[in-house]
Structures are given as C-alpha cells and as structure tokens.
Amino acid sequence: KTVCYVTAADSHAYATPANKALEARAKELGIEVLGLSQNFDVQTGTEQLNTCIARKADGIILWPLDPQAYIPALARAQQANIPAILINSPMSDQAKPFIKSFTGPDVYEEGKMAADSLNTALKGEGAVIVIAGQAGNGTTIGRVGGFVDHLKKLGSKIEVLDTVNADFDQQKALVASRDLITRFGDKINGVYANDDTMARGFIDAWKEANPGKPTPPIVGINGQKDAFESIKSGEMYSTIVQSPDEDGKLAINTMAEILDGKDVKDRIPIPLTVVTKENVETTKPAF
C-alpha cells in the first residue's frame, strides 16, 4: 500500500524528526510512503494533494498549515475514495466531513497548558510578554489563542504587556526581546514563548541586558534538549514536551488501521507533558 504524506517541511527542527519517525514506522508496517514537502507554503500543499490523487495513493496524511485552504482538495480525494487524516495541526470544522481523523498535539491545548503553567509560576498575577511564532501560521494562532483564552477562563490577573512575532526564529526573538526588555525593563514578570527556540532568544537578550540577574519565569513549548538544560539551571520555568517521534508514529499507525478497514476515532491526541524542575530529570526531551 502507498500512503501519500504531505508534510509541512522536510528541513525543520520539529518536522524532520516527525517525518523520519513516520517513515521508519511505515517501513515496519510495510507501507510505502510518498513524502511531499510543502516547505511551509499552503499553495504548494494544495497542489501536492492533487499529485497524491493523481498518483492514486491509498491514503493521505496531511500536515495542514491553514485551517481551510485544503478543503476542496480533500473533497476531491474523498471523491477518489482516498481516505485522509491530519497530522500535527487541526483544521476548521468544515473539514470534518472530508477527513477520517486528526492525530497529533493540540496546539490550542498547548496554549492552555502554557497558560496554566505560567499562571502557577506567577501565582495568578503579574505582567508577561508573549513571543509568538509567524503571524498567520496555524500553530501560532493556536498557541497564542489557547493561552489568552485560558488565562481569561482561569480568571487570572496576568496582564499581557505585548505580543510580538518572532517567526520561530532565535535571532528574531533575540532582537525583539532586546527591545522588549528595554521597553518594559523590570515590568516583565514572565514570558511565554511559542517555542523553546524563541525562549532561548529571550534568555540571551536578558543575560545581555541584566548580567547576573535571574530570569523571570519563562514558559516555552516543544521540549527541546536545550530547554531541558535551561530548566535544570533555572533559566526557564517550564516547557511542554511534544514528541515529534510520537507525532509521526501515531499518524502512520492510525493510517494503517484505516487501511486495514478498522474504524478510528476522529481525534487522537498525542500525550503532552508539562516539564518543570520537578520532572525534568525523569522526562525524555522531544529532540
């Protein structure tokens, strides 16, 4: 059987290990994977879905970068009787009829968990800055949205000083953080970064500006190795481990079940673990 896998990118810190895990698992299952990389471009992705249909794949695993845009292509896949599932990121409800399942972390959920974590660290009050990913990107939208909504729901008194986009880029986060630190100085009681790379950027900027001064509580996402180090040394408060290996494996396993004719649940989450100083020694970093 051949499964068409339209991934976000094939050269990316998170996507690459996820792709590798998916392909390795597929080999074990005896499934051939036709890997296509959108390179973070939705337009490319919609066209690649068409390629999958033309290739008459037996199943499609899509890593959506937009909540809507793939719907017509998915509909076409459905017409061609090709089952499709989503990996890593969800799509809007309108896509539901066209997909069998969505496996992967819930980025909105991650935002909520981050809000919980930061709320705990700050004991429910203070001022924070949010270092967001790329503007318009689905992950960014989910992670920021979940965070903001959940803080409100918690009734937390935490105030967001500013949200800046640093495109999941360490250098951009560094530059943006420098300005934020200049601007708000000691007003910053906490930081939420949409991923650990950008958290790293903030830490570097902080150390530059205030040598020797401890960092405010910083919450990141992804559970990278260096974030674990930072948590151990107290530079970071927490991160959320979202394992790309799990992500990849779960998707292909689910697809295998569909190909075997089994029914699958329409939402299969991968486990998310909040890592703080307490459990950092016992948890495995994501990558």
Footprint on this chain of other proteins (rule: CB under 8 A): 9-13, 16-17, 33-37, 39, 41-44, 46-48, 50-51, 53-56, 65-73, 75-76, 92, 94, 134-137, 140-141, 162, 164-165, 169-171, 174-176, 178-180, 182-183, 185, 197, 200-201, 204, 208-209, 226
Paired tokens of 67: 């909540």
Q: How far is the CB of 165 from other proteins (least distance, A)?
A: 5
Q: How far is the CB of 146 from other proteins (least distance, A)?
A: 14
Please state, as a whole number, how many other Cβ atoms lie within 10 Å of the Cβ of residue 152: 11
Rounded (5°) CA angle 98-99-100: 130
Nearer to other proteins, 175 or 264 (CB): 175
Q: How far is the CB of 26 from other proteins (least distance, A)?
A: 12
Nearest to 259 by CA among 20, 26, 15, 18: 26
Nearer to other proteins, 65 or 151 (CB): 65
Query: What is the DSSP secondary structure assignment for residue 238, as one 8-state letter?
Result: B
Nearer to other proteins, 51 or 279 (CB): 51
Cα distances (angstroms) measured from residue 114 to each of 16, 118, 180, 188 = 24, 6, 20, 17
Nearer to other proteins, 68 or 279 (CB): 68
Q: How far is the CB of 226 from other proteins (least distance, A)?
A: 7
Q: How far is the CB of 40 from other proteins (least distance, A)?
A: 8
**Sign for the pseudo-dihedral over CA of 205, 209, 211, 216:** negative
- How many helices (H) and strands (E) the chain has is answered by 9, 12
